[in-house]
A and B are shown apart, each in its own frame.
Chain A
Amino acid sequence: MRSPARVRAAKWTALVILVVVAVLLPVFETDPATVNVAVFTAMYVGLATAWNIMGGYTGYVSLGHAAFFGFGAYAFGLVLAHLGIQAGYEPFVFVPVAGALTVVLALVIGWIALRTRAATFVIVTIAMMFMIQLLAENLVGLTGGGSGLSFPVPPWSGDFFDTPFYYAMLVMALVSLAISWWIRRSKFGLGLLAIRDDEDKALAVGVPAHAYKLTAFMISAGLVGMIGAIYGYYVTYIYPQYAIDPLVGISLVLMVFLGGLGTLWGPVLGAVILEPAQLWLAYNFGASRLYLVFYAAVFLVVILLLPRGIVPSVGDLVKRMTARRAIGPSDTASTSSDTHTVAGVQSP
């Protein structure tokens, strides 16, 4: 029998080990190419976790989160330019400003898009993404249009260049995870899950569905916007098709589905598995465009073989094994409780 206290201790130990390994990574692995992969992996951990707050907990699948990612990058670049911030560590202080601006955009978009549900919502988010992309292209005076927007270039040497960005992305990933964890445990989070399971019933029992959905959307978008801001500074130059890339929006959704929709650790797992794979495919087959075919194949295999994601599937397996070992019928009953809530807090 596993006592709850021991399980909790084991989970915390695992978490601490994971964070320590993540923090020390650039110290042991100094190869810039590897750190570069780590920057993008940490970025997608944050993105997928933030998306999951809306797509996983609330059940509203947004395919337009690339809009918030790109908007955050543009907002950040413009803020830096207008305030005349010098390159270096100082710009990182202004990342939350980009996040706040993205939240305002999410308020407007969410207010309209959340009038729709299910399939219509998915489509509306796609349309919104292309609207933002068109705006970035057409408002030439503000964004530079198709010729792009450049950021101040940090004065760091090639070997060290990626490291500050890795830590910035790691901080954002941890912040996203902390918020996701907190929401999961809060009354607000319960309300979101109720909306996912049955919105009309949730409304009937007094969940302020519209306010909750909009808040979740804004939190999710704000985090994505902040990550987009760091990304813009990292690549130092953005243009509309590159900053607001539909592929980014769909990649993070796939990561969440692979790891486990609506679970705390699923998005992390999905990002850690898929992003290095995606980078490897793009690096090796990018020139011939065949990497898209391989990526599509990965996509199809994941969805057709693991439609529920890794974390819930493994959670089920563990539960089935413990249930078999249990003697009394009371144990079996307690282990077969709601899969979603239990699977959500499985250790990594």
Chain B
Amino acid sequence: MTLVLEAVVFGILTGGVYALMASGLTLIFGVMRIINVGHGALVILGAYLSFALLRSANIDPFVSLVITMPAMFLLGVVLQIVFIRPLKDDREALSVLVTYAIALGIEGLLGYLFTNNFVQLNAWYETASFAVFGFHIAYVYLFGFGLCLAILAAIFVVLYRTTFGSAVRATMLNRTAAQLVGVNVDRVSAIAFGIGVSTAAAGGVIFGMTNAFNPGSHYDLISRLLTIIVLGGLGSLRGAVIAAVAMLIIEDVTAVVISPVWASFAFFLLLVVVLVVRPQGLYGIRVRERI
């Protein structure tokens, strides 16, 4: 029982990280109607940027976010303008290919620069831990969870309390109508993509401290993130956050109760069950457009 409780707590703490990464992905989908298959690779890129700063300048991974998040924001804006904006017809299908290519490019480049050996971000709070109900939790999980909550809260505030947020939500609801009432959807799209990519940097740091990673790790990551946003309903931030936490709890509990090798499988199985019952996901609307 203690083990299950421990699994639930870990599920919530790691679920926060996935919630952050998935919210960036679902925000991008919501605003642009594109699936960013490169999101996992961007997370890994963020982790490697912090890794490089840690190794070369001995900058604490959390502190390095001050540098990496704006850098990744700019990268996101550039990627959107150069690769996503030119897509006119058949956006959904073509965007998958374009972002997949971005993922491959990042994977190849990281493999060239850092080799394919697994690395991990190290810091004192990763080994130090505190006791709760008789089990130990490393500080990194708590700090990471706190950071995720802070960034998620910031995203919600921007979306629901600012003029820019209204423009973003209007674009999500109806791109053409938003354009008609004077929203610069191209600018909104570029900034939203930048925000999504900079959350990937933050997610990458926490992912990199709690997991060993290599340039190929993005496949595993993106399959999970995509599953989460489908489960939550494409384009729904709230759905993504709830789905992320639910998925991670189920995964961790499965690992304890059944076996760690089936943990990821339970993750995907939940998706199948939800699709059979509710094809549009938790908070989604039924997709009526053709691809």
A residues neighboring B (CB under 8 Å): 59-61, 63, 112-113, 115-124, 126-131, 134-135, 137-138, 196-200, 246-247, 250, 253-254, 257, 261, 288-297, 299-300, 303-304, 307-308
Q: Are B116 and A118 in contact (CB under 8 A)?
A: no
Q: Does B57 contact A (CB under 8 A)?
A: no
CB distance from A143 to the nearest CB of B (A): 13
With beta carbons under 8 angstroms apart, the residue of A63, A113, A137, A199 that contacts B290 is A199
Q: Are A120 and B287 in contact (CB under 8 A)?
A: yes
Contact of A293 among B87, B108, B261 (CB under 8 A): B108
Does B96 touch A at the CB level, under 8 Å?
yes
Contact of B276 among A60, A115, A128, A253 (CB under 8 A): A115
Known contacts A130-B268, A300-B83; A293 and B275 CB within 8 A of each other:
no
How far is it, in angstroms, between the C-alpha of A197 and the C-alpha of B284 when the chains are bound?
Answer: 23
Q: Which of B95-116 contact A (CB under 8 A)?
A: 96-98, 100-102, 104-105, 107-109, 111-112, 116
Knowing A131-B265, A197-B290, say if A296 contacts B227 (CB, 8 Å).
no
Query: Quick check: A61 and B291 within 8 Å, CB to CB?
Result: yes
Contact residue among A115, A250, A307 (Cβ-Cβ distance under 8 Å from B90) = A307
Contact yes or no, B101 A119, CB < 8 A? no
CB-defined contacts of B33 to chain A, threshold 8 Å: 119
Dominant SS among interface residues on chain A: helix
CB-based contact B223/A117 at 8 Å: no
Contact B261 A138 (CB under 8 A): yes
Instruction: List the B side residues contacting A294 at CB < 8 Å.
Output: 108
Residue B86 interfacial (CB < 8 Å): yes
Task: List the 8 shortest-distance A-B pairs measured between CB atoms, nearest first.
Answer: A292-B108, A289-B111, A296-B105, A299-B101, A293-B108, A118-B291, A296-B104, A115-B279
Q: In the complex, what distance in Å separates the CA atom of A126 from the CA atom of B222?
A: 9
Closest chain A residue, CB of each to CB of B114: A289
Main secondary structure of the interface of B (DSSP, over half): helix
Contact partner of A291 among B96, B108, B291, CB < 8 A?
Answer: B108
Q: Select the residue from A59, A124, A127, A196 with max chain B CB neighbours within 10 A.
A: A127
| Cβ–Cβ contact A61 & B108, under 8 A | no
| A141 CB, nearest partner CB in chain B, Å | 13
Across the interface, do A112 and B291 meet the contact criterion of CB distance under 8 Å? no
Asked if A63 and B96 make an inter-chain contact with CB atoms under 8 angstroms apart, the answer reads yes
B112 and A134 contact, CB distance less than 8 A: no
With a cutoff of 8 Å between Cβ atoms, the chain B residues found around residue A121 in the complex are 291
- For A129, give the chain B residue with the smallest CB separation: B223
Given contacts A60-B291, A303-B94, contact A126 B226 (CB under 8 A): yes
Does B201 belong to the interface (CB within 8 Å)? no
Q: List the B residue with the shortest CB-CB distance to A130.
A: B223
User: How many B residues face the partner with a CB closer than 8 A?
Assistant: 55
**With the chains together, A289 CA to B216 CA distance in Å?**
11
The reply to whether the CB of B262 lies closer than 8 angstroms to some CB of chain A is: yes
From residue A36, how far is it (CB to closest CB) to chain B in Å?
23
* Nearest opposing residue in chain B for A138, CB measure: B261
Q: How far is the CA of A308 from the CA of B215 in the complex (A)?
A: 31
B290 touches A59 (CB 8 A): yes
| CA A304 to CA B264, docked complex, whole Å | 35
Contact A250 B291 (CB under 8 A): no
- B259-283 CB contacts (< 8 Å) to partner A: 261-262, 264-265, 268-269, 271-272, 275-276, 279-281
Would you call B94 and A124 a contact (CB within 8 A)?
no
**Cross-chain contact B271 with A122 (CB below 8 angstroms):** no
* B101 close to A296 (CB less than 8 A): yes
- Given known A-B contacts A127-B227, A199-B290, A253 and B97 have beta carbons under 8 A apart: yes
**Hey, which chain B residues are within 8 Å of A63, CB to CB?**
96
Output the least CB separation between B266 and chain A (Å). Answer: 10
Closest A residue to B278 using CB positions: A115
Give me 18 A-to-B residue pairs in the complex whose CB atoms sit less than 8 angstroms apart, sorted by A's number: A112-B275, A116-B275, A117-B289, A119-B35, A120-B284, A124-B271, A127-B268, A131-B269, A134-B265, A138-B261, A246-B219, A289-B111, A290-B108, A293-B105, A295-B104, A299-B98, A299-B100, A303-B101
Please tell me if the beta carbons of A122 and B86 are within 8 angstroms of each other in the complex. Answer: no
Contact status B268-A134, CB under 8 Å = yes
A59–B90 Cα distance when bound, in Å, is 10
When the two chains form the complex, which single residue of A135, A250, A292, A308 contacts B97, counting CB atoms closer than 8 Å? A250
What 0/1 readout, one digit per residue, does chain B (211-246) give for beta carbons within 8 Å of chain A? 000010001101100110110001000000000000
Contacts of A296 in B (CB 8 A): 101-102, 104-105, 108
A196 in contact with B101 (CB, 8 Å): no
Question: Does A120 lie within 8 Å of B104, measured CB to CB?
Answer: no
Cβ contact within 8 Å between B87 and A307: yes
> A120 to chain B: which residues have CB within 8 Å?
230, 234, 279-281, 284, 287
Given A295-B104, A303-B94, residue A289 in contact with residue B112 (CB < 8 A): yes
Q: Which A residues are CB-close (under 8 A) to B222?
A: 126
B96 cross-chain contacts in A, Cβ below 8 A: 61, 63, 122
Cα–Cα distance between A101 and B149 once the two chains are bound (Å): 47
Give every chain A residue within 8 A of B288 (Cβ-Cβ). 117, 200
Give min CB distance, A121 to chain B, whole Å: 7
A59:B291 contact, CB within 8 angstroms = yes
Residues from chain A with Cβ under 8 Å of B284 in the complex: 120
